[in-house]
């Protein structure tokens, strides 16, 4: 997702475009808490999210399903190893793919999103940046690759990733022409780890993750 990775792994600043699994991953433990209210970045009062959501064993973070503010797993090491294998395979073909942005905390995403709102307005920012708690990067299972720009799709690396990433357990999370379903503009650089079996099924279906699971991605406003 358009706008950073830590946990001793990868954390970089991200250049943003201004176009204005699960079967292999054991679900991390979550902390139960008493539901209360809190103010989000839009100054609205909503019930505090206290649990993560798994659908068919897949951790979901989109506009409909949020993550708790204190959910801070860092980079998922299974996903990172899968990326390393994919990177090595691409390198053997003379291609260079790398992670530009990985795990982001709730707080990091809040700062990022608020900056976009200030620069572009809320409606436009919502098309290419997730509100805090709704970013896949907070799951530790998503990576932005190389140049964070639509032009990545036309590069040799971008074409290779689109064709082969499912073989390593990833999908292109926000496909072209699917903004009305995923809630976000086309992002050829954003990959999400699901595990090889699930990623291959999603890839072969030609569907977005939302379509594959039969879920929505819409903010509750």
Residue from 187, 210, 211, 221 carrying the catalytic annotation = 187
Distance, CA of 144 to CA of 138 (rounded, Å): 13
Mark residue 68 as left, alpha or beta (left: phi above 0; alpha: psi -120 to 50; beta: remaining): beta
Written as six digits, the tokens of 125 are: 């920012």
How many other CB atoms are there within 10 angstroms of residue 204's CB atom? 9
Place of tokens 């503010």: 69
109 membership: H or E segment, kind and range: helix 106-120
Alpha carbon separation from 135 to 65, 165, 206, 210 (Å, rounded) = 10, 20, 23, 15
The pair phi, psi for residue 39, each rounded to 5°, is -95, 130
Residue 93 is among the residues annotated as catalytic for this protein: no
What is the set of active-site residues?
187
């Amino acid at each position: 997702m358009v706008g950073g990775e830590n946990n001793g792994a990868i954390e970089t600043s991200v250049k943003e475009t201004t176009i204005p699994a699960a079967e292999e991953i054991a679900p991390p433990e979550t902390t139960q808490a008493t539901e209360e209210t809190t103010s989000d970045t839009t100054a609205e009062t909503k019930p505090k999210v206290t649990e993560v959501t798994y659908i068919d064993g897949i951790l979901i973070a989109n506009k409909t399903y949020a993550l708790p503010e204190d959910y801070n797993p860092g980079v998922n090491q299974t996903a990172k190893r899968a990326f390393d294998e994919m990177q090595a395979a691409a390198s053997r073909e003379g291609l260079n793919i790398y992670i530009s942005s990985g795990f982001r905390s709730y707080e990091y995403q809040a700062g990022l999103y608020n900056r976009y709102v200030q620069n572009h307005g809320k409606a436009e920012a919502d098309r290419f940046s997730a509100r805090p708690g709704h970013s896949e990067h907070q799951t530790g299972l998503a990576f932005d690759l190389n140049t964070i720009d639509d032009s990545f799709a036309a590069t040799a690396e971008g074409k290779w990733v689109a064709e082969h990433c499912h073989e390593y357990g990833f999908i292109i999370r926000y496909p072209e022409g699917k903004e009305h379903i995923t809630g976000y503009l086309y992002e050829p650089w954003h990959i999400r780890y699901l595990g090889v079996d699930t990623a291959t099924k999603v890839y072969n279906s030609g569907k977005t993750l939302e379509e594959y699971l039969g879920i929505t991605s819409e903010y509750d406003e």
